[in-house]
Chain A
Amino acid sequence: IICCPPPLQMQFMLLFSRQGKLRLQKWYVPLSDKEKKKITRELVQTVLARKPKMCSFLEWRDLKIVYKRYASLYFCCAIEDQDNELITLEIIHRYVELLDKYFGSVCELDIIFNFEKAYFILDEFLLGGEAQETSKKNVLKAIEQADLLQEVRLGGGDLHGI
């Protein structure tokens, strides 16, 4: 169904809870909201139906789904058939590590309440579906500096405004 030009590696990434609540979604292929919703619903159902000790891969429509569960959250990516599954698994793991470093032992609530931060980290790590930076240190440095910029400007801006 996904017929648009292929992204570099990943088609989309979804984070959802054990209850099936979507926590984060990033689409690297342009799809309509309706399609996105449909795909999300179907995938969440399929992944949640799988038992704990099963493998992390699953063929769904013409895509390959790579997912992994960390605590109460499922991280789920869709890749094309020829793409490398283990790298995708590694990407998921890296992202979790990044979140962990940034929030300091991350939990689902961190992502719920700071969802924009979670996106910023993801965007710094992946671009157009491809890992743009493989060094964790560099990603975090970029995020911290941007955050710093945000705070300085936020403070300055508010004072100035009043």
Chain B
Amino acid sequence: MALKIVKGSIDRMFDKNLQDLVRGIRNHKEDEAKYISTCIDEIKQELKQDNIAVKANAVCKLTYLQMLGYDVSWAAFNIVEVMSSSKFTYKRIGYLAASQCFHEGTDVIMLTTNQIRKDLSSPNQYDTGVALTGLSCFVTPDLARDLANDIMTLMSHTKPFIRKKAVLIMYKVFLKYPESLRPAFPRLKEKLEDPDPGVQSAAVNVICELARRNPKNYLSLAPLFFKLMTSSTNNWVLIKIIKLFGALTPLEPRLGKKLIEPLTNLIHRFLSSVIAVLISLSSGMPNHSASIQLCVQKLRILIEDSDQNLKYLGLLAMSKILKTHPKSVQSHKDLILQCLDDKDESIRLRALDLLYGMVSKKNLMEIVKKLMVHVDKAEGTTYRDELLTKIIDICSQSNYQYITNFEWYISILVELTRLEGTRHGHLIASQMLDVAIRVKAIRGFAVLQMATLLDNAHMLTGNTQRNGICEVLYAAAWICGEFSDHLEDPLQTLEAMLRPKVATLPGHIQAVYIQNAAKLFATVLRAQEGVPDSQKAQETSQLLIDRLPLFVQSANLEVQERASCVLQLVKYIQKLQQKEVAVAEEVSALFAGELNPVAPKAQKKVPIPEGLDLDAWINEPPSESESEDEKPRAVFSQEEPRHTRPRHTEVDEKELARRREARKQEQANNPFYIKASPSSQKVYPEVPGVEHIPVVQIDLSVPLKVPGMPMSDQYLKMEEERRQKEKEEKKKKEKKKKKEKRGRGRKHESGPESEEDITPAHTVDIVTEEMPEVGSRINFALSNDCPPSLFCRPLADSEKLPVRTHRPTDILKSPVEGAELESVSQEPKKKSKKDKKEKKKDKERKFLSMLLYLRALLSVQVYDIQGNLQDGSQVVVSVIFENKSTSFLKSMEFNVLDSLNSKLQRPDGAGPHDGLSVPFQLPPGVSNEARFVFSVQSIVMPQKLKGTLTFIVKSEESSTHEKLDFKLHFTCTSYLITTPCYSDAYAKLLESGDLKSSSVRLEGVSMSFHHLLARICFHHHFSVVERIDSCASLYSRSIQGHHVCLLVKTADQTVSIDAKCDEPSLLGNVLDEIKQTFSMC
């Protein structure tokens, strides 16, 4: 042995250490990969040696290689070995490696539990520290559960060095094992007043972070934090507290008043954090706009600063203020627009973000114009794309609220199509479609623009990538086809849409082209048939017949199908034309009627059919989910009010009438509502001035411009002129007014430029949402289950953290005497109700819960009896033993008095009356599960078996022998196994006539039908085959293959169950049990 160690040490001298490795890598720049692979081979050799120093060195090198991107997961076990070294040097390296390389999926993590626990309780604080640090990186839910108690203890360690680490790591533990929050919280709260500032700040950090996720649970801590805020000098802590108040103030408006003063004092120190809180404050208190004004002024100074960081933060904070106080930010528009010219993309993006919220009807055109200039100048497609989406976002926000002139907007969109290499063709296209469909007055203009686009398609087809700019042709073709009546020269557009070049476009665009070519064709025919020269109409048909075959050959199925369809149609039309039959009317009829879009929420307006329950399970819910473990019974036994939907609530007549009126009003304004009569069609007023716009303006001097496109700028000019005019008029009016109302107060006077004055040139059809959005807030999993009063009530037994069994020293300290034990044993413990389920791998087995409560030192719960599918005569009974005493229980022996029918299966060689020893011992408060197999012969009758459990109670002074009697109840239900069944198989089964029938009626059942079904399914192992209204068929199968079919109907609190089964007595018993289930509730 000694020799081996010596040998190991000598070997070590020749090993590469980390420095050698690093140097080596630096010297092998050209064949780095090869060099490293030899190094890894060496490391593998080193890891095989027994010498821990060699191993640690190897692991250290691996950690370095891991950083360079090499996979070292194969050495996970070696890392664990090094972690468990007793020497700090190696332990430190081991934990470092683990924290860098381990993640939740690393399977060896579960081997580390005991090692980490040992290190946590090490007398050396650095061992503990290193373990805590490592744990913070790779803690898993299992580790969190097993170590929560140990870490909680460390929060009260004597050394602040450990305390602060323990406090911080508790946050991670809470995330991974939320149950630990409640028991640990009081101690965490204590740490807020820890004498050590480091520990205090750690506790503030953790609580602030928790509170941010779920503020309402932490409101009660507000006074404490307030005290900390006014007394603390630690900036780090202050910032966290301010952040916390930001989350709390919206919930408790009274906090605001108190905070204003200290915050304004702090504003000079940390502007950005303070702003966040001030905003949430002032939203509830309009009087404090002064503090907001102060903020904005401060921010302006920041934004004007030459320091880029301050500029960025200033803009960021501005955007926060903008959300609540848009007016105060809008006055700094000039400054924000300046920032668009900044070299730094981060700052430009921030400024863009601000602009979005700053637009108004008044300044939209101006801002967008600025942005368009930037689009032209922008280098780099990412930023340009960002600008493009921002422009569209800005314009389209809240249903085009700020757009007063849609011709201008269409022109902007058309101008945007000239951008090269943008990915957002699709976005532009959808805007074009949206505007053309919703703003009826603009269609004429839009169609002309789109026709020009189609005519100049060659300029856009350079980029055929998906989402490329050619996507706009999709919109163009559709708009031209759908609203073809507005076209000046439909024939020319038709020709443009059938050019051979079109075949190079993406398939979905070609398909739209063809469909809309057909629509255009109809329009052209209609125009041409009126004219005496019928030759022309035939020429048009010939054009289609000539051009379409190209598309019939398309590889794209959609294109091919549509093309051949249209081609055949045109050929037929041509035949008719040759016979001089007028066809135009009939062809147009193909495309008659207006296509209306459907509002995204339209589905909600469709009433849910009677009897359709959208909340009911289609299949049974998976029974293993964690959250269900807590309260599986409650799900079915409580009539939860949340299932009653608000729309079922009774409303009085008046309210109904009012709503009806409101709805009518809304329908009248809503174009997407399908109206009863065309008379209610809204008439769109012709806008004066539209005619004066020069629609076609050929500007050949600017090469990039698509010829024939109007420039959006002209609208800006027009708008300015119009506004100027209005102003003048207004001034005149005002003068008049003043003359008239001289002497009167000025309160009616609104500013000459107020928003309302700008009347939009076009109206948008706005899709309104009838239903209010259900408030969806992302909640933190951790805090979801906690009621608001979470930390006020005492801990329930079940919430205590598990104490691990192999620390008997702690456990035996409990000073409980034998006498007390006795008395406990006499008292029935009613509160031992604890329903547990366990994840089962074996899916074929199904479970049922049957509880047995026994008065005891010990509670024995039969929580599960499973039929064994493979063996029709076997039943597995799972029993939970819970030690409710304060003593140690051991040598437990489980015995059952067999009946003729049911026998406990004992190991070979054991006598028929021997007990089975339970394979574990129970420290106080611990529960464990054991399973026993029973063989049963007949399953048609319920069975009761008597049994006894003998065990030894060991306390410090003495040990006594105790006995506990119990009964095992095998219901018939427990022999049933939930088996899915298809309705056709079910029908066949019923038709076969082999089944005997029986029925039962339950009166006064007030639960909803789907609860009722859920209850039968859950407690009696049935599955729903089919459900129609208040009638359902259910199926189950016994372990011996009996079919049990139920037909459940409900009416007026009466439930009738007709049942069929091939075994009448089994059926009778199952029905009795079902009856009993419902009589209990």
Contacts and interface: CB of A to CB of B under 8 A. Distances in A.
Given A87-B239, A132-B164, A161-B9, A54 B92 contact: no
B357 to A, nearest CB: 17
B168 A57 contact: no
B795 interface: no
A119 B570 CA distance: 77
Given A116-B18, A116-B63, A153-B87, A55 B171 contact: no
Given A128-B169, A146-B126, A162-B9, A113 B19 contact: yes
Interface in B129-151: 129-130, 132-133, 136-138
A127 B132 contact: yes
B18 A57 contact: no
Nearest to A46: B345
A57 B309 contact: yes
A157 B309 CA distance: 51
Contacts of B104: 30
B68 A22 contact: yes
Contacts of B168: 8, 127-128, 130, 132
Interface stretch (A31-39, A70-78, A97-105): A31-39
Interface in A1-52: 5-6, 8-9, 22-25, 27-28, 30-33, 37, 50-51
Contacts of B133: 123-124, 127
Contacts of A24: 67
Contacts, number: 163
The size class of the interface chain B forms with chain A is 35 or more
B239 to A, nearest CB: 6
A8 B103 contact: no
B129 A86 contact: no
A41 B345 CA distance: 20
Given A30-B104, A134-B236, A116 B346 contact: no
Contact of A89 (B5, B243, B273, B309): B309
Which size bracket describes the interface of A in this complex? Answer: 35 or more
B89 A31 contact: no
A158 B311 contact: no
Contacts of A33: 71, 73, 103
Contacts of B103: 30-33
Contacts of B201: 134
Interface string A123-162: 1100110111111001000100110011001100110011
B312 interface: yes
A133 B236 contact: no
Interface string A57-98: 111000000000000000000000010111101000000000
Contacts of A154: 87, 89
A84 to B, nearest CB: 6
A102 B5 CA distance: 34
A37 B66 CA distance: 11
A120 B92 contact: yes
Residue among B9, B63, B202, B346 with the highest chain A CB neighbour number at 10 A: B346
Interface string B204-233: 011001001000000000000000000000
A85 B9 CA distance: 50
Given A56-B309, A119-B96, A162-B9, A22 B67 contact: yes
Given A22-B67, A162-B5, A55 B346 contact: yes
Contact of B175 (A5, A22, A54): A5
A158 B12 CA distance: 11
A154 B205 CA distance: 37
Contacts of A30: 103-104, 138
B39 to A, nearest CB: 15
Contact of B343 (A51, A84, A116, A124): A51
Interface of B is mostly: helix
B309 A55 contact: yes
B237 to A, nearest CB: 9
Given A30-B103, A153-B88, A57 B346 contact: yes
Contact of B236 (A22, A87, A113): A87
B940 to A, nearest CB: 52
A138 B88 CA distance: 20
A30 to B, nearest CB: 5
A85 to B, nearest CB: 6
Contacts of B89: 150, 153-154, 157
Contacts of B99: 123
Contacts of A162: 5-6, 9
Contact of B308 (A25, A53, A132, A133): A53
Interface in B267-288: 270, 272-273, 276
A116 B67 contact: no
A106 interface: no
Contact of A84 (B5, B53, B198, B273): B273
B136 A127 contact: yes
Contact of A115 (B64, B171, B313): B64
A153 B248 CA distance: 50
B22 interface: yes
B126 A145 contact: yes
Given A84-B239, A120-B92, A142 B347 contact: no
A107 interface: no
Most buried by B among A56, A115, A120, A127: A127
11 contacts: A8-B205, A24-B67, A53-B308, A54-B345, A56-B309, A115-B18, A127-B136, A128-B172, A132-B198, A134-B198, A146-B130
List of 8 A-B pairs having minimum Cβ-Cβ separation, nearest first: A55-B308, A54-B344, A5-B175, A55-B312, A128-B136, A123-B133, A150-B89, A127-B168
Given A55-B311, A116-B60, 13 more contacts: A25-B100, A51-B343, A54-B347, A55-B308, A55-B346, A85-B272, A87-B239, A112-B22, A119-B96, A131-B236, A132-B164, A134-B198, A149-B124
Interface of A: 5-6, 8-9, 22-25, 27-28, 30-33, 37, 50-51, 53-59, 82, 84-87, 89, 112-113, 115-116, 119-120, 123-124, 127-128, 130-135, 138, 142, 145-146, 149-150, 153-154, 157-158, 161-162
